[in-house]
Structure 1
Amino acid sequence: MSGVGTHRSNTTMRQGPPLSMGKNVLYKYGNSMISLFRKLLANRSLLKNLVIRDLKYRYVGSIAGFLWSVIHPLVSFVSYTFVFTVIFPTRLGPESGTDSFAIFFFCGFLPWFLFSDTVMRNCLAISDNAQLITKTIIPAEILPISITVSNFVHHLIGLGILLLVLIVFYSVHLSVLWIFLYIGMTLMLAQGIGWIVAGLHVFVRDTIQALQILLFLWFWFTPVLYSLDRLPANIRVFAEFNPMAVIVTGYRNSLLDRAQPDPLEVTLVLAASITIFIIGALLFRHAKPAFPDVL
């Protein structure tokens, strides 16, 4: 009996350190995320000023100024409508939720552009603001976040124009409220990846070129120009592993009142977005002490 007791005691001792180590890691990462949110809260005025600076910088020296943020999506929508209605008339199946390819395309393009443009601009957030990093005590994490918030503001303008078109020429239902869930997942996913590429670009300046190619390929694996329902079953299985495929499809369905979100798909993509957000934040936090020495 004493031998059995000793064996159990030894087993317990062997299992102790890994469990303790796991708790310490979770505690450390948890504290890191809490510290990040506290830092954002403490620097909310700085974040606001950086967002305003970014919005103004886009149109500095232009006569129309901020009106360009309305003109650009409006002209884009009219252009796509003309191209896919007059020059290359495209037929959509009943699974598309609309007979207008321009509406179908724009409903998918808005979330994709929010994601891709946020990731691309985040990549340059640190290297383009080297003086702020090396000569001030500004928290480096805030620079990519300010770009994400700025892009979110622009996205709302484009979304507002699209909603106006849908209200006037089609219809909008309560399902449109689901769109905020998909926007939230898009922003978390883009910010997580944005932090990773922003830190990497400080050390490897080829990152921006590689990212352009990656996003170009990623676009074609995302149902912006087509519906997932039209893909062969064996290909659709792989497409559904793409979180942006689920987001773009759900975003479009919310606007066109096609279907309620699939709980399992939404849960998986939400979990993936949160995970990538946390990983990106932790990797960026680990890399940022070396930024001043490299910039």
Structure 2
Amino acid sequence: MIPAHLRILWVFTWREFREQYAGSWLGSGWALIQPVMTVFVYWFVFGVVWELRLPEPRDTGSTLPFIVFLLSALLPWLAFQDGLNKAAGAVLSRSEVVRHGAFPVAVFPVARTIVAHLVFIPLVLAFALVLHFLAGRPLGFAAWLALPLLLGVQFALAMGLGLLLAALSVYVRDVGFLLSMVLMMLFFTAPILYPLAQVPEAIRSWMWLNPFTPYAEGYHQILLEGRWPDPGIWLLAIPTAIAALWVGRWVFGQLRAGFADVL
């Protein structure tokens, strides 16, 4: 059954990607244009208007352009955010399929999570290559190894949460509205727009309650410092991703039987 489900997953992943841009003039070109425009806005506000620079994390005594710091965690965050937003409504948008037979509907939120990461992960890797070859910020072998590993753990977290949100959204239609507020809160309370070291020490430890904080710090250490992330990053990220996968899969399985009745 697993090979058959993988074939179905591949079909619906490709279908989700095509349908996302169906009917538009630029088609899949929007997959690149949208994140580039997002980055441009942040760069213009913080890099051009405010001319922000940050202390160099490699202890060279120089400063770091804000856009470099921003992109190191923003691009993975956009993949995470887009994956959750798309996965949350995946079952609802395929109600005509859910009502018919024992179709493996879990492929819908998983496919949407895959599509979101397939769009942004190449941008993350391209950014790493620019840092390594053009910006004079070489990444060591350990950093190149850690980058896909951390992205993979992030994908596992997003997939688990996506399954959970997709199942809950069938029964509670407010999930989508709540999710947008939660994601906004997570974005501003993770060290994406600012270094964790600049957070007041009294509340700094609370920042680690944000599930994306270890990822943001991990990407900073990989891309800005060119090294393997601290052990604490993995000790937080991996168990959280495993727990999210287990809970998401279990809740989805428990609620799956009633999807057709509710839809």
TM-score (norm 2): 0.90
Over 3 Å counting, the alpha-carbon distance change for 1:209 and 1:76 in structure 2 is: closer
Q: Does 1:256 align with 2:224?
A: yes
Map 1:19-34 to 2 at 5 A.
none
Q: Secondary structure of 1:240's partner?
A: helix
Distance in 2 between the 1:262 and 1:169 partners? Answer: 24
2:152 to 175, 181, 184: 184
- Corresponding residue for residue 36 of structure 2: 74
Shift of 1:258: 4.8
Structure 1 position 50 matched with structure 2 position 18: no
1:171 to 2:137 alignment: yes
Q: Partner residue of 2:21?
A: 59
SS in 2 for 1:121: helix
Cα RMSD, aligned residues only: 2.0
Tell which structure's C-alpha radius of gyration is larger. Answer: 1
| 1:234 paired to 2:196 | no
Name which of structure 1's ranges 258-267 and 228-237 shifts more when overlaid on structure 2: 258-267
Which range moved further: 48-57 or 65-74?
A: 65-74
TM-fit CA distance, 1:139: 0.2
Deviation (angstroms), 1:193: 1.4
Give the letter for the 1:62 counterpart: S
Worse-matched range after superposition: 132-141 or 209-218: 132-141
User: 1:212 and 1:76 mapped to 2: Cα distance?
Assistant: 17
Aligned partners of 2:157, 2:22: CA distance in 1, in Å? 29
SS at match of 2:217: helix
* Alpha carbons 2:76, 2:124 under 8 Å: kept: no
**Residues 1:275 and 2:237 aligned together:** no
One-letter code aligned to 1:101: F
Aligned partner of residue 270 in structure 1, secondary structure: helix
Q: Structure 1 residues 171 and 259, CA, compared in 2 at 3 Å: closer, same or farther?
A: closer
User: 1:155 is matched with which residue?
Assistant: 120
Could you tell which deviates more after superposition, 133-142 or 282-291? 133-142
SS of the aligned residue for 1:243 comes to coil
Note if contact 1:95-1:229 (Cα within 8 Å) is conserved in structure 2: no
Q: Distance in 1 between matches of 2:127 and 2:227?
A: 19
CA separation in 1, counterparts of 2:153 and 2:86? 18
- Structure 2: distance between partners of 1:157 and 1:95: 25
Distance 1:165 1:68, change over 3 A: farther
162, 183, 199: which is aligned to 1:194?
Answer: 162
The aligned runs of 1:196-215 (5 Å cut-off) are: 196-215=164-183
For 1:120 and 1:96, locate their aligned partners in 2 and report how far apart those are by CA, in whole Å.
35
**Structure 1 length-normalised TM:** 0.81
**Counterpart of 1:100 in structure 2: which amino acid?**
P
1:136: Cα distance to partner? 4.8
CA distance in 2, matches of 1:51, 1:288: 20
Residue 225 of structure 1 deviates from its aligned partner by: 0.3
My pick for the range that moved more, 41-50 or 120-129, is: 41-50
Structure 1 runs of 4+ with >6 Å offset: none
Alpha-carbon deviation of 1:75? 3.5
* Equivalences, count: 257
CA deviation profile, 1:156-206 (whole Å, cap 9, x unmatched): 232244234323233331313311122122111111111111111101111
| Identical pairs, percent | 28
Letter in 2 for 1:214: V
Tell me, which stretches of 5 or more residues in structure 2 are unaligned? none
In the alignment, is the contact (CA less than 8 A) between 1:191 and 1:277 conserved in 2? yes
Please list, as runs of the form range in 1=range in 2, the aligned pairs for 1:86-105 lying within 5 A after superposition: 86-95=48-57, 99-105=64-70
